[in-house]
Amino acid sequence: MADGSIGLWTVPLAVLGGAIRVSTPFLFVSLGECITERSGRINLGLEGTLVMGAMSAYGISYVTGSPWLGVLAAGITGALLGALHAGICSLPRVNDVAVGIALMLFGTGLAFYLGKPLIEPTAPRLPAIDFGWWSDVPQVRAALRVNVLFLIGLALAPILYWAFRTTRWGLLIRTAGESSDAARAMGHSVQLIRLRATMVGGFLAGIGGSFLSLFYPGSWNEGLSSGQGITAVALVIFARWDPLLCLWASLAFGGAAALGPALQSVGVTSGYHLFNAAPYILTLAIMIVTCSPKRTLTGAPAELSITR
Amino acid sequence: MTTEAADSAEAVGTIAPAADPGFLRRHGGTIEYVLIPGAALVGALVVFGIFVAMFGKNPLDLYFYMYYGAFGTWFSWQNTLTRAAPLILTALCTALPAQLGMVIIGGEGALLIGALSATSVALALQGLPPLVVQIAMVVAGVIGGGSWIMLSGGLRQYRGVNETISSLLLVYIALAILNHLVEGAMRDPASLNKPSTREIGAANMIGTIPGTDVHWGLVFGLIAAIAAYILVYHTVFGFAARIAGGNIRAAKIVGLGVDKLILTVCFLAGGAAGLAGMVEVAAVQGRTNANLAAGYGFTGILVAFLARQNPLAIIPVAILLGGISASGGLLQRRLGLPDASVLVLQGIIFVFVLASDALYGRIGLLKGKS
C-alpha cells in the first residue's frame, strides 16, 4: 500500500539510496587511487584489489564472526597487493600500467580460487545506522539506512584534501608526483614514497571491497564486482586528482548505478542491462567531455605516465 | 611443456657459441627474447606449484596433469589448438596498437561486438549460399570489432581520453549491449534458461579442418598473425607505425599522418578480436549468448605481453596458454582444484613476465663477452 502511495517517487528515492549505498566502494577506491596517483604512479590493479578485499573480508568475517575484523583483513590484503605493485614497478623499465593489468587478472583469479568455499556460507554483515527513523515511508527508511563505512569515507575526503595541502606527508607525496628529481634532491626516496602511497591506496581499495561483500550487495560471489574498480580509477582522472571532487563523482556514480534496479522495481524492465551499464557510459561520456588532446589536464601530477 | 621450451632455449645458448664465437653477439637479443620469457614462465610455474602445495596437492602431479591435459594426447592437442585460435586473434588486438605505444586491453569487448555483428548478418542472410553467409560474417565481425577499438583510438587521438581505460570501459558497455539484445530484440523465444539469439544454421558453420576436431578458426588466426607480422616488420605502413610508437613528435615532423595510422591500426586490432568473436559463433556456439564472454579477450592481453607484442611470437604463446586453459578441466577432475586455478596461474605468469622486463640487457653472457 505504501508502495502505491508514493508511486514513481520510488525511482528518485532509490537513486538517492543508491547514491549513498552503491557509492561507497567507488569512494574508497577513488580516494585510494587518488593518493597513489598523486605520488606519480597509476595502479590499474585496484579492480583486483577490490575483489580480493571483498573475498578476504567475507572469509575473515565468517571465520571470526566479526565483520570489522573482516574490514581490517580486507585493508591488509589490499595493502599487500599494493606493495606487490609498487615492488614490481620499482624494478627498472617496468611499466606501471601493465603491472596494474597483471594484478587485476591475478587478484580476481586468486579471489575466485580462495573464495570458492565461501559462496555457500553466510557471514555476519556490517551493521547499518538508521537515519530514516523520522519517516513512515519504507522506501525513505531503506534509502537512509547508512553504513558506517560510508560515513568514514565521507569524512576521509575532506581530511585527505586538507592533508594534501598542509601536512608534511601530503607535500612529500605531491613532490614525488610532480617532480621525482625535486624529491630526490630533498633527500627522499621516491620509490619509498610511492611504495607507501600505493600501499595506502590498496588498503582503502580493499576496504571498498569489504563493503561489497559485507554490506551491499552483502554476499560473496564471482560476479560481485564488474568493473567498479576500473571505473573508480577513471573517476579520479576527471575528478582532477581532488579528493573532494572524488566524493561528488562517487555519489553521482552510485546514483547512476542504482538507476537500473530502481527502474526495474517500478516495472521498467526493457532496458535493464543498458541502465546497468550507466556508470560506464557516464564515465566514458565525462572523460570525452573533460579530456583534451591539446593540453594536459589541470591538476594532473606531472610524473604520471598515463597523462604524458 | 614449458621446461622443454626453456631447455631448448638454453641449449641454443650454450652449444651454439662453441661452433661460432660471433653467434652470441649477433643473436644475443633474439636469445634474450626466448630465454627471459621462458625463465619467467618457469618461475611462475614453480610459484604456482608452491601455491597448490600449500593446499595439500602434489606439485609434480600438477605439472604432469597440466602437460597431459594440454599436450599429452591427440585429443588434448586438439582441445589446446581450438582454444589457441581465439587467443591468437585477441592477442593481436593488444599487440598491434602496442607498436604505436598504445595499451589497448578491450579485446573482450571487440570480440563480443564482432560476434554480435556476425550473428546479425548471418540471421539476416538466411537462405543464401553458405559461403556467401560465411564471408559476410567475417566482414561483419571484422567491421564490428574494428569499429569498437577504433572508437578507443579515435577518443585518444581526438579527445585525449586514455585508451587503456576507455577500451576497458567499452568491454562492460559491449557486454551490456549484448545482454540487452540477447534478452530483448534478438532473443530466440525457444531459449528459456539461457537467453540466446536464434541459431545461424548448421550449414553456415565453418566446420573443422579435415582429419581433426580443430575448427578453421585456427587457420584464420595463423593467417592473421602472419599478415600482422608482415604488416609490422616488412611494410612501409608498419615502419611508419613503429616510428610513431617510438617517438610521436619525430613521426609528425617527418610528415606521417599519425591520426590515420592510429585509427587504421586500432581498426585492424579490433578487427582481429572481432574475427575471434565471429569464429566463436560460427565454429563453436552457433549463436550469440553470454557464453561468449569467456575471457579470451583478457587472456589475449597476457599472450601479447608474453610474446613481447611480436605478432609471430603470439602463435606459440597462444598455443601454450591455450594448453594451460585446456588442462583446467583435468586439474579440476583429478586434483580437485577450483576452475579459477587457471586464472591464478595466468596472473602469476603475467606478474613474472612483467618483472622479467628488468632483466633485458643485463645478462652478461649475452652481451657477447663470452
**Could you list the pLDDT tens digit for every one of the 308 residues in chain A?**
344 456 677 788 878 887 888 899 999 999 999 999 999 999 999 999 999 999 999 999 999 999 999 999 999 999 999 999 999 999 988 888 889 989 999 999 999 999 989 988 888 888 888 887 787 877 777 778 888 999 999 999 999 999 999 999 999 999 999 998 999 999 999 999 999 999 999 999 999 999 999 998 888 988 888 788 888 888 898 788 999 999 999 998 888 888 877 787 777 777 888 888 888 898 899 888 888 777 667 778 888 876 54
Q: How many residues does chain A have?
A: 308
Res B184: pLDDT: 85
Q: Do B357 and A294 touch (CB under 8 A)?
A: no
Chain A residue closest in CA terms to B184: A270
Range scoring the smallest mean pLDDT among A186-200, A287-301, B34-48, B88-102: A287-301
Using alpha carbons, list the distances in angstroms from residue A44 to A81, A103, A240, B65, B270.
12, 8, 17, 33, 22
Q: B173 in contact with A at a CB cutoff of 8 Å?
A: yes
Res B73: pLDDT: 94
**Residues B332, B346: Cα–Cα separation, whole Å:** 16
Vertex A297 angle, CA A291 and A299, to 5°: 140
Give residue B364's pLDDT band: very low, low, confident or very high (50, 70, 90).
low
Res A5: pLDDT: 53
Vertex A87 angle, CA A93 and A207, to 5°: 130
Range scoring the smallest mean pLDDT among A302-306, B55-59, B70-74, B133-137: A302-306
Res B12: pLDDT: 44
DSSP state of B295: S
Judging contacts by C-beta atoms under 8 Å, the chain A residues touching residue B340 are: 109-110, 112-113, 116
Q: Do B162 and A306 touch (CB under 8 A)?
A: yes
Q: How many CA atoms lie within 13 A of A124 on its CB side?
A: 12
| CB neighbours of residue B294 within 10 Å | 17
Res A8: pLDDT: 72
Preferred mutation among A43, A55, A106 to probe B, highest tally of B CBs within 10 A:
A106
Backbone angles phi, psi at B152, to 5 degrees: -60, -45
Res B21: pLDDT: 59
DSSP state of B213: S
Res A216: pLDDT: 83
- Give the cell for residue A219: 554476499
| CB neighbours of residue A168 within 10 Å | 8
Res B103: pLDDT: 92
**Residues A271, B179: Cα–Cα separation, whole Å:** 10
Between positions 100 and 139 of B, the ones with CB within 8 A of A are 103, 105
What ipTM was predicted for this assembly? 0.90
Between positions 334 and 353 of B, the ones with CB within 8 A of A are 338, 340-348, 350-351, 353
**Residues B92, B142: Cα–Cα separation, whole Å:** 13
Judging contacts by C-beta atoms under 8 Å, the chain B residues touching residue A98 are: 103, 305, 354
Res A144: pLDDT: 80
Average pLDDT over residues B98-120: 96
Q: Do A98 and B354 touch (CB under 8 A)?
A: yes
Using alpha carbons, list the distances in angstroms from residue B95 to A215, B69, B104, B356, B359.
40, 28, 8, 18, 21
Backbone angles phi, psi at B125, to 5 degrees: -100, 20
For residue B251, the surrounding DSSP H or E stretch is helix B248-253
Measured in Å, how far apart are chain B's first and last C-alpha atoms? 29
Q: B325 in contact with A at a CB cutoff of 8 Å?
A: no
Task: State pLDDT tens for residues B263-311.
Answer: 999 999 999 999 999 999 999 999 999 999 988 999 999 999 999 999 9
Handedness of CA A198, A47, A43, A251 (dihedral sign): negative
Using alpha carbons, list the distances in angstroms from residue A149 to A146, A211, A255, B19.
9, 7, 17, 68
Q: Do B358 and A110 touch (CB under 8 A)?
A: no
Q: Do A237 and B105 touch (CB under 8 A)?
A: no
Provide the whole-model pTM: 0.89
B161, B347, B357 member nearest A94 (Cβ) = B357
Q: Does B15 have pLDDT greater than 70?
A: no
Using alpha carbons, list the distances in angstroms from residue B152 to A2, A268, B266, B292.
47, 31, 8, 22
Q: How many residues does chain B have?
A: 370
Average pLDDT over residues B100-105: 93
